[in-house]
């Protein structure tokens, strides 16, 4: 009986068209991801008209162009179940990796009461939130994706969204919008040295090494 059930399940999976090779949970998750991606692109479109700094506008336009391409190939492979017209590429940020540490006095933040009050600090913070949200949602979807092609596209997109988030963070840090405090040197050393490497290989209950 079990053998017949297994054969029936195998036959059913073999007859599923490629474009239908998705689990129900995966379909709902990808819909959520694609809707969120559209939301990010729409937000970027609104942000652009309020940006004053050409450097930030350049970051936004590069990120928007890259996110649009990622969205298109995700839709393409999601609908076809096959490789998209071109593979995912790597996003290259245009910031140095130098981080400024320390705090300088600044006014307390509060919500804006008027659209005209939106400035580069606010917009770059919103851009950072969008990139982090895409990275988080894409990671969640990729971890439970049944279609191997879609999973690979999503998995390859995660580092790109993280790179965008880091690029925006570096921009904010450079302009003093995102300040990075540090602990006192003694506290920092204690925290850094709070963990040591594990000794030897883990052993199972019979005393054998776990390979």
- Please tell me what DSSP assigns to residue 87: -
Residue 109 in contact with residue 97, Cβ under 8 Å? no
pLDDT tier at 207 (50, 70, 90 boundaries)? low
> Which of residues 199 and 211 earns the better pLDDT score?
199
In the chain, what percentage of residues exceed pLDDT 90? 68
> Which of residues 3 and 110 earns the better pLDDT score?
110
pLDDT of residue 211 exceeding 70, the answer is no
DSSP letter string over 9-62? HHHHHHTS-GGG---HHHHHHHHHHHHHHHHHHHHHHHHHTT---HHHHHHHHH
Q: Say how far apart CA 164 and CA 166 lie, in whole Å.
A: 5
The pTM score is 0.84
Rg of the chain in Å (alpha carbons): 23
Question: Which residues are CB-contacts of 36 (< 8 A; sequence separation ≥ 6)?
Answer: 133, 134, 137
Taken as a whole, the chain contains a residue count of 211
**Per-residue pLDDT, 201:** 73
pLDDT tier at 17 (50, 70, 90 boundaries)? low
pLDDT tier at 24 (50, 70, 90 boundaries)? confident
pLDDT tier at 5 (50, 70, 90 boundaries)? very low
* All structural domains of the chain with their residue ranges: 18-192
For 64-107, write each residue's pLDDT tens digit. 999 999 999 999 999 988 999 999 999 999 888 899 999 998 88
pLDDT tier at 108 (50, 70, 90 boundaries)? confident
In CATH terms, the superfamily for domain 18-192 is Ferritin, core subunit, four-helix bundle (1.20.1260.10)
Q: What is the mean pLDDT of the chain?
A: 88
- Please tell me what DSSP assigns to residue 126: H
């Amino acid at each position: 009986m079990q053998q017949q059930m297994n054969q029936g399940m195998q036959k059913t999976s073999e007859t599923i068209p490629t474009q239908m090779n998705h689990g129900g949970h995966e379909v709902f998750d990808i819909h959520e991801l694609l809707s969120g991606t559209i939301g990010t692109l729409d937000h970027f479109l609104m942000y652009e008209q309020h940006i004053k700094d050409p450097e930030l506008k350049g970051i936004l336009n590069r990120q928007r162009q890259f996110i649009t391409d990622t969205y298109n190939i995700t839709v393409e492979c999601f609908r076809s179940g096959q490789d998209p017209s071109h593979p995912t590429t790597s996003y290259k940020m245009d910031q140095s990796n130098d981080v400024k540490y320390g705090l300088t006095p600044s006014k307390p933040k509060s919500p804006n009461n008027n659209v005209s009050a939106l400035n580069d600090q606010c917009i770059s913070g919103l851009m950072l939130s969008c990139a982090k949200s895409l990275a988080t949602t894409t990671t969640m979807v990729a971890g439970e994706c049944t279609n191997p092609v879609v999973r690979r596209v999503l998995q390859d997109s995660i580092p790109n969204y993280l790179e965008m988030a880091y690029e925006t963070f570096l921009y904010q840090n450079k302009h003093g919008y995102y300040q990075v405090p540090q602990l006192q040197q003694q506290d920092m050393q204690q925290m850094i040295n709070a963990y040591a490497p594990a000794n030897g290989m883990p052993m199972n209950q019979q005393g054998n090494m776990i390979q």
